Amino acid sequence: MTTSPPLPAPARPRFRHLRWGVGVLGLCAFFLLLRWLVIEGYHVPTASMEPTLRGDPNGDKVFVNKLAFLRSPPRRWQIVVFNYQEPDHDPTIFVKRLLGLPGETIEIRDGDVYVDGSIARKPRDVQEELLFPVYRSNFSRDELTAFWSLESENAAGWDVVDGHLVVRAGTSLRMSARSEVRDRYDFLDGPPSGGDNFDSDLAVRLRVRPLSRDGDVVIALAKGFDRFELMLEMGATSRAGTLRANGKDVTPIGSVPLETGREAAVLFWNVDGELRVEIDGRPLYAAPYVPTRAAQPPVRHNDVGVEVNGAGAEFSSLELSRDVYYTAEGDFVRQRAVRMLPSGDTPSYFFLGDNSPSSKDSRQWGATLVSKSDLIGTPFMIFWPPSRIRLLRGSQ
């Protein structure tokens, strides 16, 4: 007769509790080490990066990748968290957007940043972050006529139906913005700011469904003495349209027709010295914008309009956005516009806030610049409040 080996005696409660305690302490130590070396939460205290990052009283909380600059050097347009000590102040943690790299010459002119004499053009994903809404409609007649001046020879030829702007076939309708677009921030928490400068880096987005095969839709953008028109042919079979500059054809646009009955998403912008056309997310045209004259622009230099010429069309949305307008302050007033950043043994970086009129940044900090040792990392995600949870484009 065989007997089974005796079962091991159960662990004493105090040793079981000890193992649990060691495990919990180890887990806490792991997360503390992770926080110290890799990822840390950061609370955005001010409105200097709005609308990308919201400041107090209900500031965003972001996760910061503290290893970002161990793998690769900082890149222009990244959002960076860093330490900085202003004269006569304690060290403070800031979050700004990186614009200037060591050894570069920085200039702020007409709302844009120039690096070594050339405009600093944003990557596509960063530009999406820095297009601030001026007008956004899912259409009601009151808001439409409040922002746009509408002209038509047939008052019954257009209407707002179930949140859509419907233009009947054979009708010509011209919409033009009633006022200039300025660098005003009145959609942020708190009182409005800015508004002192014309902002003529504009983008128009619309969603349109052709209802007939005749006529066209025209989007017009003006800057300085130049006026550009994107003419979209309704129901076309060979091309989507034509880009015109100052009344003359520049180039045919693509080979994606706007088919009758099918909605298309259209983007037309003149931003950072680049004209761009996209239809349904497909780039059809992108080329540098070169002003025809260098003289002072006229007062109304950023007119924007949408025209429907004989085409039946239904618009489900229409958006007008402006680019961030960086103001020249501190060392960057007009008579002292150019600045060289140190390199070599003491590399320095130049930072700006997205909410330019309300940002304290490298424009005001004078000779005391941000060095590489001051950099903490890059925020990659908003994790609080829940309604704002999202990944930050262009930060990595």
Sign of torsion, CA 235 238 244 248? negative
372 classed as catalytic: no
pLDDT of the residue at 214 = 80
User: Which carries the bigger pLDDT value, residue 1 or residue 159?
Assistant: 159
Are β-strands 92-100 and 105-109 bridged in parallel, bridged antiparallel, or unpaired? unpaired
Q: Where are the beta strands (DSSP E) in 85-179?
A: 92-100, 105-109, 112-115, 118-119, 131-137, 148-152, 158-161, 164-167, 172-177
Query: 279-298, pLDDT tens digit by residue?
Result: 999 898 999 988 876 555 55
96 classed as catalytic: yes
Provide mean pLDDT across the span 161-185. 90
> Whole-model pTM above 0.85?
no
And the tokens for 257? Answer: 């027709």
**Active-site option among 66, 96, 122, 223:** 96
pLDDT of the residue at 190 = 63
pLDDT of the residue at 90 = 79
What is the Cα–Cα distance from 359 to 295, expressed in whole angstroms? 30
Which residue ranges form the domains of the chain, and what is each CATH number?
39-124+336-391 (2.10.109.10), 131-186+195-289+298-323 (2.60.120.560)
**Active-site option among 48, 356, 359, 362:** 48
Band (pLDDT 50/70/90 cuts) for residue 299 is: very low
